[in-house]
Amino acid sequence: MAASQDAAVAFYRRYGASPDAVAESVVEAVRKRKLIQPVPTSHVVPGWLVHRLSARAFQPLARGLVKLIARGGR
């Protein structure tokens, strides 16, 4: 369990959004009264578009992302 947590932390440390970007997004979401504010949008939109076009095509992509995160982005 600790190894998978360490891998996820390593992945997001490398590819995740900076604390400043998250803070700006939170302030924007509060101003606009948004319940959900993905950060950064560039990480969320491609997967969302694939899912909207074809949920079946998104399933292997989602499984691959889980494996990538489990490896820590290596």
pLDDT of residue 74: 62
pLDDT of residue 57: 79
Residue ranges of the chain with per-residue pLDDT less than 70: 72-74
The rounded mean pLDDT for the chain is: 83
Domain count, the chain: 1
Q: At what angle do helices 41-53 and 55-70 cross, to 10 degrees?
A: 140
Range of the domain at 31: 2-70
pLDDT of residue 36: 85
pLDDT of residue 70: 76
pTM over 0.75: no
* CB 10, CB 71: distance < 8 Å: no
pLDDT of residue 73: 58
